[in-house]
Structure 1
């Protein structure tokens, strides 16, 4: 599990296609400092398992399901990525519960600079729209954010200087894809409520 608080901006070293999967190598001194085989590291919000760690880089296998649901397949050597290690039980939950299981991708629609922040609008897939509410939480490329505004097919977030400087969201331009993970609690509530309603109807 993760919290959506990015620890560092890493850099893609290689993305090697392997049929219906790929092997990704990423450089990141902070997240690899104590990384070992089998550890979990979120790359742009996608939970990946460390297959090998050497020096300041780690390698992970990316399966077809992950390539289909996320934007990782579009990465190239030199691409910057958000990195976060799995949270420990004794750490503060600084953002919100982020599983690293991307629900789909959106696209940056526009950027509206303010004096000390930016409002960014992003597209919202129809199958995820019901889980996104104003002032709710959403992970965008692994960054825990609060939804500032929402329409039927888009939502906005306000990015503070720290987020603009220390994550990829400060660099994303209109038309570029982002990984989206909605609040898992909303999905559980929907399922439990549906089961209750079904039971009452029966």
Structure 2
């Protein structure tokens, strides 16, 4: 579990490809104090396992599934990468609940400067997931916890302050850039629970959460 608060901008040093499988070697310093082999690290918002620890960096394996569904396949040596270690149970929770499981990628449509903020409009490549992206809700973009400023069902907009730009790789985005997107896990669970489900028995029929059900069970 992560928070979406980037700890360090790493640099991709080396890529070893074998078909749609990859090994990424990443240069890092700030997060290396207590990283061990087997630890989970969010790499541009994708939860990966450290398989090698060396002086000034670590390596991770990328499976074909991750290769096909994230922007990691587009990385090149020298690319800047947002890094975050898994959250400690006794740590301060400053962002929002982030799993490191990218739901999709998205394309940056436009970037607008507005006084001290930068507005970025992003078009998800899975429009059906837009139900989980709501104004003032949380969304993770390349591992960065952000608040949705607005959405029109096709694109969503985030407003980024100077500190976030300076401390993450978002400063390098431009129109056409591909980013990893993870929707708010709480929203996904609520949506799934509220969606009626077939129970598979003729007696019970379709079940879901309703006002009558909540009342009958003492919740309303």
TM above 0.5, one fold?
A: yes
Confirm whether residue 54 of structure 1 aligns to residue 54 of structure 2. yes
Q: Does the aligned pair in 2 maintain the 1:33–1:56 contact within 8 Å?
A: no
Q: Whole-Å Cα distance in 2 between the matches of residues 187 and 110 of structure 1?
A: 27
Measured after TM superposition, the shift of residue 127 of structure 1 is 2.4
Measured after TM superposition, the shift of residue 176 of structure 1 is 0.6
- Point out the more displaced range, 151-160 or 27-36: 27-36
Which one has a bigger Cα radius of gyration?
2
1:76 equivalent in structure 2: 76
Specify every segment of 5 or more residues in structure 2 that has no aligned partner in the other structure, as ranges.
199-205, 211-220
Confirm whether residue 182 of structure 1 aligns to residue 183 of structure 2. yes
SS in 2 for 1:170: helix
1:140 equivalent in structure 2: 141
SS in 1 for 2:66: helix
Q: TM-score w.r.t. structure 1 length? A: 0.96
Q: Deviations over 1:14-71 (max 9, x none)?
A: 1111233110111110122211110011110000100011011100100011111100
Higher relative contact order (CA 8 A, sep 6+): 1
SS in 2 for 1:187: helix
Specify every segment of 5 or more residues in structure 1 that has no aligned partner in the other structure, as ranges.
none
Q: Does the aligned pair in 2 maintain the 1:81–1:168 contact within 8 Å?
A: yes
Work out the number of aligned pairs and report it.
201
Q: TM-score w.r.t. structure 2 length? A: 0.88
1:199 equivalent in structure 2: 207
Matches within 5 A, 1:78-157: 78-124=78-124, 125-157=126-158
1:28 equivalent in structure 2: 28
SS in 1 for 2:65: helix
SS in 2 for 1:112: strand
